[in-house]
Amino acid sequence: MKNAATHIRVSVGEIRIDSAERNAINKVLDSGRISEGEMVRRFEVEWAKYIGTKYSVALNSGTSALIAGLTALKHSRQYPKARKNAKIITTPITYIATSNAIVLSNFEPVYVDVRKDTFLITPENIKTYLENVDDPEEYSLILPVHLMGYSCDMDGINKIAKEYGLIVFEDSAQAHGTLYKGKKVGSLSSLSDFSFYIAHNIQVGEMGAITTNDYEIIKLVRQIKANGRMCDCPICTRKITGCPKMRGKENDLDPRFTHEIIGYNFKTMEFQAALGLTQMEKIDWIIERRREIVKYLNEGLEKYSSLIQLPKYDENVSYMAYPIVIKSPEKTSRKKITMELERRGIESRPLFGCIPTQQPAYHYLRHKYEGKLPIAEFVGSNGFYIGCHQYLTQEDLDFVVKAFGAIYDELLE
């Protein structure tokens, strides 16, 4: 029986620990090593291969990946603009981690409005914003988020970035495997973060990753995630061929305990990476099944499209969830609809809220942005999502369509 304790029938996300997952975890237990080791390295190789970048580094969460990536840019010789307090143009509609990482890394988030249909920031809005600022030199990065699996217009964003000398850092936490013009998101800019939190397409509990083609960035991320230690080799060769950092050195310095930069402990564990590898074997099926579900629900709910905005269907999208926006909140509020769904066992989550005006932690920015991000504020108050994960059955999908029918047929009469 599914989630009997909470009576949830259609969850936002679900993980199944089948025999492949159990075997992978048991192998880690038997290996005698649970902290970062072979499994993490293998996952990094597979993830980079899948996304289409030269490198990937796994970290203990997507938030850590964002912080480590931003910190790496500050230390990089190639990106002098990524200095303390520089401004980063980003989206107001995303999971809070994107903004938190910017602030905690001593940058300043600056928000531009989003598109109504996909909730993404657009090159047009970024351009208009930059054309009207006093000093574009205060800006260092654009941090677009591929929300719900939708890809931002990366050609447009990269073009503006080039024009203004900005770095682009994609947040691909919610878009595992989404294609943009034939390439995977996460491979379309200087670097990208991913999250493998529950409900994401590849899910392992807690873990994140950075992908990049830039050797300097990956080397710095490796250091930053391990308290800034000198070591940056993907595999330690100390016991085999000796440590390359020690060669020719007179002193007895141990690179594992010599710290070149101030970093964090963002290392992950073998269990998560082992689970990640089992999930990767199913990734094509996961993405395809989620797409089928989005298509099916869209067809079933089409008759309510005067009242709710349904997700845009696109064969290139790897859907993280099924987002819905209430079109006429004066007729039915999000609260009412989501409570009705919840009562029937259909879980939902709000579409995050407009960060600078609707998230209490960003209260200090409210005056600056109130009324300036109308679409983000509308989506933030009226958007929510339900699950479209691969374990939903045909009966579950029909149950969802019926539940919306029970709620909305009355309203349409």
**Contacting positions for ligand PLP (CB under 6 A):** 61-63, 66, 94-95, 97-98, 145, 171, 173-174, 195, 197, 208
Q: Which is nearer to ligand PLP, 120 or 230 (CB)?
A: 120
- 191 contacts: CB under 8 Å, gap ≥ 6: 69, 72, 73, 169, 170, 210, 211, 212, 214, 217
Q: What is the DSSP letter of 295?
A: H
Supply the minimum distance, in Å, between the C-beta of residue 58 and ligand PLP: 11
| Residue number, 44 or 171, with CB nearest to ligand PLP | 171
Q: Name the residue nearer to ligand PLP (CB basis): 197 or 378.
A: 197
CB nearer to ligand PLP: pick between 97 and 286: 97
Residue 194 class from Cβ within 10 Å (0-12 exposed, 13-18 middle, 19+ buried)? buried
Q: Report the candidate in 308, 354, 301 with the shortest Cα–Cα distance to residue 329.
A: 308
Pick between residue 68 and residue 230 the one whose CB is nearest to ligand PLP. Answer: 68
CB 146 within 8 A of CB 171: yes
Residue number with the shortest CB distance to ligand PLP?
Answer: 62
Q: How far is the CB of 7 from ligand PLP (least distance, A)?
A: 25
The H or E element spanning position 322 is: strand 322-326
Residue 76 or 174: the one with the smaller Cβ distance to ligand PLP is 174
Q: Checking DSSP bridges between strand 55-59 and strand 183-184, what pairing results, if any? A: unpaired
Q: Note whether 186 and 65 are within 8 A (CB).
A: no
94 or 359: CB nearest ligand PLP: 94
User: 385: Cβ–Cβ under 8 A, 6 or more apart, which residues?
Assistant: 12, 148, 321, 322, 323, 324, 348, 349, 351
In angstroms, give the least distance from the CB of 23 to ligand PLP: 25
| Residue 61 C-beta: closest distance to ligand PLP, Å | 3
Nearer to ligand PLP among residue 61 and residue 381 (C-beta): 61
Q: How far is the CB of 66 from ligand PLP (least distance, A)?
A: 6
Helices (H), 199-349: 215-224, 270-280, 283-301, 334-343
Contact present, 28 and 39 (Cβ < 8 Å): yes
CA distance 217 to 78: 9
Closest approach of ligand PLP to the CB of residue 326, in Å:
22
Pairing relationship of beta strands 179-180 and 191-195 according to DSSP bridges: unpaired
Nearest to 323 by CA among 14, 155, 115: 115
> Which residue, 63 or 332, has its beta carbon nearer to ligand PLP?
63
- Residue 311 CB, shortest distance to ligand PLP, in Å, is 16
Overall residue count recorded for the chain in this entry: 413
Q: How near is the Cβ of 197 to ligand PLP at its closest, in Å?
A: 4
CB of 97 to ligand PLP, least distance (A): 4
Dihedral pair phi/psi, residue 223, rounded to 5°: -75, -45
DSSP letter for 259, please. B
